Structure 1
Amino acid sequence: MRPSHNASEQSWCALYRAGAVSAGVAVVLYVAALALFTLTPAPPESGGRAMLEYVDAHRASYILRQLLWLTPSLFLMVVFLALAVAVRRHGQGLAAVAAVIAVMSWAVSFAWPTTGDGSLAMVVLSDRYAEAATESEQAPFVAGAEILDALNGVPAVIGVLQTVGLLLVSLLMLRGTFPKPLAWLGVATGVVGIAAEVLRPVLGWGYATYGLLLFVWLAWVAVALWRLAASSHLRNPS
């Protein structure tokens, strides 16, 4: 006998709950990163040498900031996997594509050398710079810092792919399973996010619009996934 639809949904309850918790944790980490970014001294706008000296002077807070920006990527992989599974019956092919694009793009964040607000590699360069005895010995580390600083300011392919994955999932959410307002917020966040990632070098603080939309969307997703897990369990309790 083939399993019923309710039984199939019941089997995914744990993933939905994990996605809900992961979305909530991601929001908390992002808010903490934003708070730390606001409260700590701003890094220099340019200059590899100045950046390395800044990192050396604010080592602990700098490392914490990078970890707070980077760690949510792990939780967002779970969030988008849960969302793709939840909307799969509205289009299995598109759900699979959305899952691959979203999950892989967040996974690649761990291999990308910058976070958008700096780089953990900058800490290593700062240590080596401090150990160097002469300017000629320091020069390679200064050059490396300037490269990382430049990468922070250019559009990253993975950033665009992350927003494309969000948009595809949200388009499937419009077909059902989740509240329509949440789905439309996801569509808006995806569209604004794509534009923000592409135009990042010229937007300045305007880029924060995408970040705020993402925070609100993720918080709502956390609630929606938890409710989905609860309703699936009630329809077919173990």
Structure 2
Amino acid sequence: MALKHLNKSFAAIAALVAIAYGVIALALNSSPPSLNGGLVYLSDQYATATTAAQHIAFATAAEGLIAVTNAVNSAGILFEVGILIISLVMLKGVFHKGVAYLGIVTGALGIVSEALRPILGFGYVVFFVLEVIWLIAVGWKLYRLG
């Protein structure tokens, strides 16, 4: 709402991208493996398994779940596209230009990071830290505007 008077088209597109991100993320269960309840369940089952066949079955299921959640994430890419679009609009608004440029860098780096997530491994954290900083900066400004 703080940006809609600057460019209604971009604001509407960013809102639609954000909604699409939420729907797709829920549909794909695209949370990181560390937050996936399925891994906790499989770990518990593995720990109580009594045969080698059960151990193999639960380990294989866990590997499959990790592979799926580490795959290129279309929902994550949409979120980063949304950050990029909003940040471009922020350049002309009440937000500090540094926050807008941080959002542009974060959105662009996020698109690449999401696309290369299986290759980046822990390097993905660099982008994540930038995203958290950007979200805090935007949240603080919105709080002050309210």
Mark yes or no: TM-score above 0.5.
yes
SS state at 2:5 partner: helix
Q: Does 1:92 align with 2:40?
A: no
Aligned to 1:171: 88
Q: Does 1:191 align with 2:108?
A: yes
Q: 1:96 offset after TM fit, Å?
A: 1.5
Q: 1:128 offset after TM fit, Å?
A: 3.0
Structure 1 residues 85-115: Cα deviation after superposition (integer angstroms, max 9, x where no partner)? 2211122222122112124314543441541
Aligned to 2:97: 180
**In structure 1, what is the Cα distance between the partners aligned to 2:91 and 2:14?**
14
**In structure 2, what is the Cα distance between the partners aligned to 1:99 and 1:138?**
45
Q: 1:187 offset after TM fit, Å?
A: 0.8
CA contact (8 A) 2:99 2:138 kept: yes
The one-letter code matched in structure 2 to 1:93 is S
Residue identity (%): 37
- The 3 A distance-change label for structure 1 pair 133 and 206 is closer
- The 3 A distance-change label for structure 1 pair 160 and 113 is closer
**In structure 2, what is the Cα distance between the partners aligned to 1:223 and 1:185?**
15
**In structure 2, what is the Cα distance between the partners aligned to 1:89 and 1:187?**
20
**In structure 2, what is the Cα distance between the partners aligned to 1:177 and 1:103?**
24
Q: 1:160 offset after TM fit, Å?
A: 0.8
The one-letter code matched in structure 2 to 1:186 is G
- The 3 A distance-change label for structure 1 pair 199 and 136 is same
The one-letter code matched in structure 2 to 1:157 is S
The one-letter code matched in structure 2 to 1:198 is A
Q: 1:176 offset after TM fit, Å?
A: 1.3
Q: 1:169 offset after TM fit, Å?
A: 0.9
**TM (normalized to structure 1)?**
0.54
SS state at 2:34 partner: coil
Gaps of 5+ in 2: none
SS state at 1:88 partner: coil
Computed over aligned residues only, the root mean square deviation of the Cα atoms, in angstroms, reads 2.2
Aligned to 1:115: 32
Aligned to 2:67: 150
**TM (normalized to structure 2)?**
0.84
The one-letter code matched in structure 1 to 2:115 is V
Aligned to 2:123: 206
Relative contact order, higher structure (CA 8 A, sep 6+): 1
**In structure 2, what is the Cα distance between the partners aligned to 1:114 and 1:215?**
16
SS state at 1:86 partner: coil
